[in-house]
Structure 1
Amino acid sequence: MTPYPAPAESFDRSTPVRLWEDGFAVDPRRYYEALRAQGPVGWAELAPGVPAYVVTDRRAALDMLHDDATWSRDPRPWQATVPEDLPILGMMRWRPNTLFSDGAEHIRYRTALLQAFDLVEPHDLRERVLRAVHILVSRFGPRGEADLVNDFARPLMTLVFNSLFGFPEGEAERLNDALGAMMEGGEASAQGEAEYGRYVMDLIGAKTARRGDDLTSRLLDHPLGLTTEEVTWQVFLTLGAGHEPSTNLVSNALSRILGNPAYYSTLTSGSRTVRDAVLEVLRHETPLTNYGVLYARKSLSFHGAWVRAAVPVVVSYGALALFADEGQGATRDPRDASHLSFGAGPHTCPVKHEGLLIATEAIERLTQWLPDMEPTVPRDRLTWRPGPFHRSLVSLPVRFTPCTPDRPAGLTAPSASSQTGARA
């Protein structure tokens, strides 16, 4: 792999822009500019020898995301053309779930998910986040230092989602390790996918044997009558789709906040909200930068590009945000929700409000407990994980005044009712 990208002007427009290079993680802007130079639809590689079209224009993205008649989410025609051991298959392989389905099947799966999540009360979700923050800060608080990716954001999402879906707290580490490996690419990705599959199968087995007040049980008992296999794949999707992007949303937001002391002071003083900071990340450094993969049902001309059937067409949320800001300078309201980080059309993220609540609550609680956090590595020297799909930090080291759970200025312990975690 090439460790650093060539300048944007030296990219050869006749060859794919290689999003799998380490350089893409180092400086994605140069790669997006190379794609944009090709027009609204660029030509890229997601892995060595695996081409894809990449949409970098907002109008083109909306046209595609709202047109189910022309575009399909089913990757099987493409999947039949690539090796079974292709590392990125962990993110793109067909499964019978809402992400990879169309039409009536998609509506059925999506309805079940929406109605299951509708029963999660906001106050209950906040209590689960509070409990997770309490557990994690109790672990690293006395040290006076932490890695906010691996000590906080990742395990926090694991604790919250593991609890929501009904597994005991002791299973959370399995989920954390499996999903982290699955996003890495290479051999680790296949191993992570296999371990994640075992985690989900064990969860389904436990809930089949004994229902509880959790999302898995609600899906198993849903009036639409999903089969056990169908529930398995909805859980497989929703746990992964909730955990990884939410982890990156929290860590990306914290890195932006802590990298600007003046900005951080506006949050700790209350003059600006954490939600504003989270929305800025969704606009400028979205955690899932290139996804929303679709496939043309037949070859066609689309926004000036000839798009072949059975070739992935990727929506570049990262590029959309970058080029949407051109010419607007500081006039854009940071609370502007015009980003497409949650997708658009029939496949818009069904639980975006819950995701925003989790991220906002987690950052609020952490900054209340540790108001004097400061990064130990400048933001421009932080390391980003390679991969075509995400914008994800390797680590975010900080230091702060050591604290303990009984610190008067910190958070109080969660109530007994919130300590039930996953209720069997």
Structure 2
Amino acid sequence: MNPAGSAGAVPAISAPVRLWEDGFAVDPHAYYEILRSQGPVGWAELAPGIFAYVVVDRRAALDLLHDTEIWSHDPRPWEATVSEDSPILGMMRWRPNILFADGQAHIRYRRTLVDAVSLVEPHDLRERVHRAVDILVSRFGPRGSADLVSEFCRPLMGLIFNNLFGLPDSESDRLTDSMAQMIEGTERAAQAEVEYGKYVLELIAAKLTERGDDLTSWLLDHPLGLTPEEVTWQVFMTLGAGHEPTANLVSNALSRILGNPAYYTTLTSGSRPVMDAVVEVLRYETPLANYGIHYARRPLSFHGVWIQAAVPVVVSYGALAYFAEKESRGAHHPGDASHLSWSAGAHACPVKQHTLLIATEAIERLTQWLPDLDPVIPRERLTWRPGPFHRSLTQFPVRFTARTPDQSGERE
């Protein structure tokens, strides 16, 4: 059977590595080793019956990411082969936005997004992050304990992104809940996609009625003249791409910081910047472990593997980081040069600096309020959420001296 004509067809290269299994969340490196044993491009199952090529070699990844002639981001030929009830379709189905566009359409969408985000001044974004942190600390701070995943990182991004796009705080939980279920690719993913769609449609409707000082309004008013439908899909993608991966970036960084008392001391004393921990996560434990999905425009041989058209080709940023660490353990890495967490080429992340600011300010603000955060569970015993795409903790319980932020929400 030809894999270009069926989502369930498996080319004769190797047994698929099941990235949807619980075991992948427990020990992703073991799965990456199996994929790498197949060569620069392995063969995997993203969900039961949904197969994909997975790029686990840095050179192959760069070749793919920089070649827009051979590779497309348009999944519609593949999508036609997939059942509508597939749990991962919400993360992969075509929509008219920057993520799934090629050529001039991609350039147009990217320009509007970059221009809109550029209107968010760093000092304003910093204040929004501080405000959101203070709201959450006021909820769990007096208790002296919290789960930093469910009570801090995920609702924090809900508050920040909900605010940036122009809805009141009361709507942020809807965003957080639907995004978490969509990215896990479970049986609840389809309903979560519906709920997330409702959230975005209501947001667009509100801004069409009355503009505000927010990203949605700026996209609607951009000189390139996106239609309300196009803005809807831009917002759909941007909120999703910003919320869950950034929440995971913060939780993964916090677990690294707090799991190493000596490391934590250097950060709280100011002798080592929080950015170091954030970059370590991007380098070794990237929150969006497998994505960057491409499709060959025609069948071809790529780094020793025959690639069929209309079959997903996934870039494993997690595998690339893992093998880079293995091959250069102990070596110095200048800045971000050693990882591809921001992707590369035409589709490289357009809002990298804003994401880094959110993550570092969130961690700094939290540790200023609660300088004696103490993990309840050792880092090596923490558990990870299943799913083929992300590297995300299920929980991260901590203890600390009970404290309540002051009423003004301002702290130097």
**Is residue 2:292 matched to residue 1:292?**
yes
Deviation at 1:13, TM superposition (A): 7.7
Deviation at 1:326, TM superposition (A): 2.5
**Runs of at least 4 residues off by over 3 Å:** 333-337
Deviation at 1:338, TM superposition (A): 2.7
Provide the C-alpha distance between the structure 1 equivalents of 2:304 and 2:63, rounded to a whole number of angstroms: 13
Give, as a single letter, the amino acid of the residue that structure 2 aligns with 1:299.
P
Provide the C-alpha distance between the structure 2 equivalents of 1:350 and 1:238, rounded to a whole number of angstroms: 10
Match of residue 104 from structure 2: 104
Provide the C-alpha distance between the structure 1 equivalents of 2:389 and 2:264, rounded to a whole number of angstroms: 28
The answer to whether the 8 A contact 1:279-1:337 is kept is: no
Match of residue 8 from structure 1: none
The answer to whether the 8 A contact 2:184-2:388 is kept is: no
Give, as a single letter, the amino acid of the residue that structure 1 aligns with 2:350.
P
Match of residue 259 from structure 2: 259
TM-score (norm 1): 0.93
- The SS at the match of 1:54 is strand
Provide the C-alpha distance between the structure 2 equivalents of 1:26 and 1:13, rounded to a whole number of angstroms: 26
Match of residue 392 from structure 1: 392
**Is residue 2:78 matched to residue 1:78?**
yes
**Is residue 2:183 matched to residue 1:183?**
yes
- The SS at the match of 1:244 is helix
Match of residue 93 from structure 2: 93
Match of residue 247 from structure 2: 247
Match of residue 413 from structure 1: 409
Match of residue 172 from structure 2: 172
Deviation at 1:414, TM superposition (A): 3.3
Deviation at 1:73, TM superposition (A): 0.1
TM-score (norm 2): 0.95
The answer to whether the 8 A contact 2:324-2:338 is kept is: no
Give, as a single letter, the amino acid of the residue that structure 1 aligns with 2:340.
L
Provide the C-alpha distance between the structure 2 equivalents of 1:382 and 1:158, rounded to a whole number of angstroms: 23
Give, as a single letter, the amino acid of the residue that structure 2 aligns with 1:414.
E
- Percentage identity across paired residues of the two chains: 72
Give, as a single letter, the amino acid of the residue that structure 1 aligns with 2:388.
P
Deviation at 1:334, TM superposition (A): 7.0
The answer to whether the 8 A contact 1:13-1:34 is kept is: no
Encode CA deviations 1:276-320: one digit per residue, 9 max, x unaligned: 100000000000000000000000000111100000000000000
Provide the C-alpha distance between the structure 2 equivalents of 1:406 and 1:83, rounded to a whole number of angstroms: 52
The answer to whether the 8 A contact 1:279-1:334 is kept is: no
Provide the C-alpha distance between the structure 2 equivalents of 1:392 and 1:406, rounded to a whole number of angstroms: 31
Give, as a single letter, the amino acid of the residue that structure 2 aligns with 1:303.
H
Provide the C-alpha distance between the structure 1 equivalents of 2:259 and 2:186, rounded to a whole number of angstroms: 31
Provide the C-alpha distance between the structure 2 equivalents of 1:207 and 1:245, rounded to a whole number of angstroms: 26
Q: Which moved more, 1:358-367 or 1:333-342?
A: 333-342
Encode CA deviations 1:335-379: one digit per residue, 9 max, x unaligned: 443311011000001111100100000001111111100100111
Match of residue 402 from structure 1: 402
- The SS at the match of 1:329 is coil
Match of residue 355 from structure 1: 355
Deviation at 1:380, TM superposition (A): 1.2
Unaligned runs of 5+ residues in structure 1 are: 1-11, 416-424
Give the total of aligned pairs: 400
Give, as a single letter, the amino acid of the residue that structure 1 aligns with 2:27.
D
Provide the C-alpha distance between the structure 2 equivalents of 1:363 and 1:173, rounded to a whole number of angstroms: 21
Encode CA deviations 1:115-158: one digit per residue, 9 max, x unaligned: 00011000000000000011000110000000000110001101
Deviation at 1:231, TM superposition (A): 0.1
Give, as a single letter, the amino acid of the residue that structure 2 aligns with 1:233.
W
Give, as a single letter, the amino acid of the residue that structure 1 aligns with 2:309.
A
The answer to whether the 8 A contact 1:291-1:389 is kept is: yes
What do you get for the CA RMSD once the two structures are aligned?
1.4
The answer to whether the 8 A contact 2:17-2:34 is kept is: yes
Provide the C-alpha distance between the structure 1 equivalents of 2:157 and 2:379, rounded to a whole number of angstroms: 23
Match of residue 45 from structure 1: 45
Encode CA deviations 1:171-216: one digit per residue, 9 max, x unaligned: 1111111112212222211111100000000000000000011000
Unaligned runs of 5+ residues in structure 2 are: 1-11
Q: Which moved more, 1:174-183 or 1:211-220?
A: 174-183
- The SS at the match of 1:42 is strand
**Is residue 2:302 matched to residue 1:302?**
yes
Provide the C-alpha distance between the structure 2 equivalents of 1:181 and 1:292, rounded to a whole number of angstroms: 20
Give, as a single letter, the amino acid of the residue that structure 2 aligns with 1:277.
A
Give, as a single letter, the amino acid of the residue that structure 1 aligns with 2:410.
P
Encode CA deviations 1:207-261: one digit per residue, 9 max, x unaligned: 0000011000001011101000000000000001000000000000001111111
Match of residue 28 from structure 2: 28
Counterparts of 1:333-348 in structure 2, within 5 Å, are: 333=333, 335-348=335-348
